[in-house]
């Protein structure tokens, strides 16, 4: 088990920056203005070879009334009670302030190891502030720079010394939890719902809108199943989001939806399914996550049955792509209907993770195409061949068909709706991809067809072709005028040598004519037209 460390201090001293550095991710929102962090956030991190469970807290304010700052202080004190080592951070540039002294008095009552951190110590101006930190009474301050990563080696040594007498129990790693993101518009009751599920005031709540800024994850266990709730900031319409901090909060909420497995959309019963709720539900469907609708503040409804029928009708009409998603009406204030939420979430998760056998899919495909055959496009009918599921979460199917690119969208919607009804997949996003069969690689233009080769000299060519090519080759070897006479059809004149009769020249191996070569001089030519190389001159009688 990791060492549990809480990072505390007054506002805007760099607690979230150090938290992000030790975690290795930009989990906590960071801004120049004070008071960005409001809830306490847990995350696993490390420094050197030491595993840590870090707790980021809100800035400490010296107020005890019913204000938001007072509720933030309660969250910080809860983190102090839960931690094993406390890292008290001050700003070395500003030095020790009156609020630092007040908080130091509070920390002296905590009987736990306390490490004093002097942050922003990278400049020369911070030297005096580091010296003033000795007056707080927590020993030698550790000069660090959370922004630039300076002083981490000294912090590691301080943590080793502080945790020397702390027994860290080794426990088995829990099963992978089901990640559940709670989303909705501002002041819809998301944090109150999680607190009611946990049975404690884990998250900061109040009548003010937009209290939650970070996406806070909380681990829980339900009937032996590990659960991880992620509380998100309320999302307003994009046109209304102007401030940089709110843009960061919205981006953090979208990231939480992306990494969630089940998303719970919390809506006010009086104005449910307005434009923003529809856009959030559509975003969940496009991300391929399971969705559960929650109508909050149900204890104020006078006619619950009629209102429930109206809301379900709105969901089916405005979000047909998520038809059949679970709908839970509850009240986070008094807990009415809260027991129906987790069974709906577990059912949506199981449906989202379903796997269908290929045999059952193809049996269904034959019945579906027989009941409603695919339409003909340009006079040719699209023919579905077979179907298979490639993955789950969400269920993804591939349909092999001829002329797949011509299959109309409305027929694909028919197949998806029929899949949803036949295999009991209500509400979960379904992905269907239509593909054609693999093309012939050896066809013309295929991947293995290769360049077209010349077949004139192939051994399998017809005999007439081979004979004509042989004659053309012999013709091309004739020298000088013999070639021209052969082409023109004129027989060459044969001159007898030294009174030799023409008939006597018909004997094999005897030259019949003497012609001049290309370079001059006499060469002997045989009956077949080839030059005799055995003799250079005609024989003398």
Residue ranges for the known binding site for GTP are 9-16, 56-60, 119-122, 184-191, 231-235, 296-299
Encoding tokens for residue 89?
Answer: 């951070």
- The alpha carbon of 285 is separated from its chain's Cα centroid by a whole number of angstroms, namely 15
Helix (H, G, I), strand (E, B) or coil at 343: helix
In sequence order, the β-bridge partners of residue 216 are: 231
Mark 375-410 as b/e (b = at least 16 C-beta within 10 Å): eeeeeeebebeebebeeebbbebebbbeebebbeee
Give the distance, in angstroms, between the CA of residue 289 and the centroid of all CA atoms in the same chain: 13
DSSP string, 353-390: T----HHHHHHHHHHHHHHSPPPEETTEE--EEEEEEE
What's CA 501's distance to the chain center, in Å? 99
Distance CA 365, CA 50 (A): 56
CA–CA separation, 93 vs 102, rounded Å?
19
Whether cis (ω within 30° of 0) applies to the bond prior to 394 is yes
14 touches 29 (CB < 8 A): no
Instruction: Enter the tokens of residue 71.
Output: 């509720």
Write out the binding residues.
9-16, 56-60, 119-122, 184-191, 231-235, 296-299
- For the chain, the distance separating the N- and C-terminal CA atoms, rounded to the nearest angstrom, is 121
Taking residue 347's Cβ as centre, other Cβ atoms within 10 Å add up to 16
The torsion defined by the Cα of 130, 133, 135 and 137, in degrees rounded to 10, comes to -130
DSSP symbols for 241-290: --SHHHHHHHHHHHHHHHH-SEEEEEEEGGGTT-HHHHHHHHHHHHHT-E
Between CA 200 and CA 222 the distance in angstroms is 15
Half-sphere exposure of 271 (CA within 13 A, CB side): 9
Q: Write down the residue that tokens 């979460």 correspond to.
A: 393
Residue 129 and residue 7: Cα distance in Å, rounded?
Answer: 19
């Amino acid at each position: 088990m990791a060492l549990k460390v809480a990072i505390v201090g007054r506002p805007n001293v760099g607690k979230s920056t150090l938290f992000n550095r030790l975690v290795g991710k930009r989990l906590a929102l960071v801004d120049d203005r004070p008071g960005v962090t409001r809830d306490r956030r847990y995350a696993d991190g490390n420094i050197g070879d030491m595993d840590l469970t870090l707790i980021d807290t809100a800035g400490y304010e010296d107020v005890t009334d019913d204000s938001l700052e007072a509720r933030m202080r309660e969250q910080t004190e809860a983190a102090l009670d839960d931690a094993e080592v406390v890292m008290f951070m001050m700003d070395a540039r500003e030095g020790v302030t009156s609020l630092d002294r007040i908080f130091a008095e509070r920390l002296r009552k905590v009987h736990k190891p306390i490490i004093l951190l002097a942050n922003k110590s990278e400049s020369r101006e911070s030297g005096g502030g580091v010296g003033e930190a000795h007056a707080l009474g927590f020993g030698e301050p550790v000069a660090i720079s959370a922004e630039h990563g300076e002083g981490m080696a000294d912090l590691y040594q301080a943590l080793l010394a502080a945790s020397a007498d702390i027994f860290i129990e080794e426990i088995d790693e829990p099963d992978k939890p089901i990640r559940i993101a709670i989303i909705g518009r501002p002041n819809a009751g998301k944090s109150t719902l999680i607190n009611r599920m946990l049975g404690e005031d884990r998250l900061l709540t109040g009548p003010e809108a937009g209290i939650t800024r970070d996406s806070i994850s909380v681990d829980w266990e339900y009937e032996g199943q590990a659960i991880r709730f992620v509380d998100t900031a309320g999302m307003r319409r994009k046109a209304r989001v102007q401030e940089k901090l709110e843009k960061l909060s919205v981006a953090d909420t979208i990231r939480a939806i992306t990494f969630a497995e089940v998303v719970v959309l919390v809506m006010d019963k009086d104005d449910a399914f307005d434009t923003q709720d529809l856009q959030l539900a559509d975003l969940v469907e496009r991300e391929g996550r399971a969705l559960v609708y929650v109508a909050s503040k149900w204890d104020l409804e006078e006619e619950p049955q009629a209102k429930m029928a109206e809301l379900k009708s709105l969901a089916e009409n405005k979000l047909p792509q998520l038809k059949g998603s679970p709908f839970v009406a509850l009240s986070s204030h008094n807990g009415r209907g809260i027991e129906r939420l987790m069974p709906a979430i577990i059912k949506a998760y199981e449906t989202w993770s379903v796997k269908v056998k290929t045999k059952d899919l193809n049996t269904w495909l034959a019945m579906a195409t027989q009941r409603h055959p695919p339409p003909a496009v340009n006079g040719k009918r699209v023919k579905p061949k077979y179907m298979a599921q490639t993955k789950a979460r969400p269920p993804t199917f591939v349909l092999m068909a001829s002329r797949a690119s011509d299959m109309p969208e409305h027929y694909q919607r028919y197949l998806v709706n029929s899949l949803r009804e036949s295999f009991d997949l209500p509400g979960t996003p379904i992905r269907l991809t239509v593909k054609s069969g693999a093309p012939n690689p050896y066809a013309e233009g295929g991947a293995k067809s290769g360049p077209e080769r010349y077949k004139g000299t192939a051994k399998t060519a017809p005999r007439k072709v081979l004979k004509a090519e042989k004659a053309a080759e012999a013709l091309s070897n004739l020298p000088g005028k013999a070639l021209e006479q052969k082409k023109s059809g004129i027989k060459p004149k044969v001159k007898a040598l030294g009174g030799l009769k023409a008939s006597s020249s018909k004997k094999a191996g005897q030259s019949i004519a003497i012609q001049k070569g290309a370079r001059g001089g006499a060469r002997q030519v045989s009956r077949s037209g080839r030059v005799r190389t055995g003799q250079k001159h005609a024989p003398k009688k």
